[in-house]
Amino acid sequence: MRLVRTDIRPTVPCKPRDPGWTYTCCLMKTLAATQETAVKRIVAELKHRPGPLLEILHAIQDTLGCVPEAVVAPVAEGLNLSRAEVHGVITFYHHFRRAPAGAHTVSLCQAEACRSMGAVALAEHARRRLGVDFHQTTPDGRFTLEPIYCLGNCACSPAAMIDGRLHGRLTPERFDEIIAAQAKSS
């Protein structure tokens, strides 16, 4: 933490007589006005539900395409939680993205049944084919590769979910066909 001059509203004034100076993390990000409005609306709508944090974070990701670092403060404030608690939940669950996903999301099952049927080799092939690792998006923004831990399609291992559609008994060749079809559709 360091003392910096900001043009945003003060959060923790250093000196009562100079409210323009605040303690803030040099990495603190801000949301666009429309995003901030959406986050505040989501928090207001869901904060009265039991254990609302996960539901709120899912709704934010559905709305914004990700859960950016800048939502931590308004969510924490709206739920009367510490920023550390909110940040901890976001970073604990791999499902929450901190940057928008590509046009197509490729989720490869990494659970035991799929691994025993070739998911490790399929994941290596997918990494080479797309040129990215898990939790990354291709440079052209078309595909995001994600691990997922059980799609409930164990009898048809290895499995993947591509843009919400389940695919079973995947081989590298079938994977390439599906990816080529998805690339043509976008």
The 10s digit of each residue's pLDDT in 26-59 is 345 788 999 999 999 999 999 999 999 999 999 9
Distance CA 94, CA 43 (A): 21
Q: Read off the DSSP letter of residue 118.
A: T
Average pLDDT along the chain = 87
Ramachandran bin of 148, using left for φ above 0, alpha for ψ from -120 to 50, beta for the remaining angles: beta
* Of the listed ranges 22-26, 43-47, 148-152, 173-177, the one predicted with least confidence: 22-26
pTM, two decimal places: 0.70
Strands 104-109 and 143-148: parallel
- Answer whether 10's CB lies under 8 Å from 2's CB: no
Tell me what the mean pLDDT of segment 84-93 comes to: 96
120: Cβ contacts below 8 Å, ≥ 6 apart:
none
In total, the chain counts a number of residues equal to 186
pLDDT score at 87 = 97
Instruction: Return the structure tokens found at 147.
Output: 């691990």
pLDDT score at 7 = 43
Tell me what the mean pLDDT of segment 128-146 comes to: 96
Number of H helices, E strands in the chain: 7, 8
Return the higher-pLDDT residue of 83 and 95.
83
Orientation of helix 53-64 relative to helix 83-92, angle to 10°: 70
Instruction: Return the structure tokens found at 5.
Output: 């001059």
pLDDT score at 28 = 55
25: Cβ contacts below 8 Å, ≥ 6 apart:
1
Residue environment code for 5-25, b if the CB has 16+ CB neighbours within 10 A, otherwise e? eeeeeeeeeeeeeeeebbebe
- Name the percent of the chain lying above pLDDT 90: 78
Tell me what the mean pLDDT of segment 119-130 comes to: 98
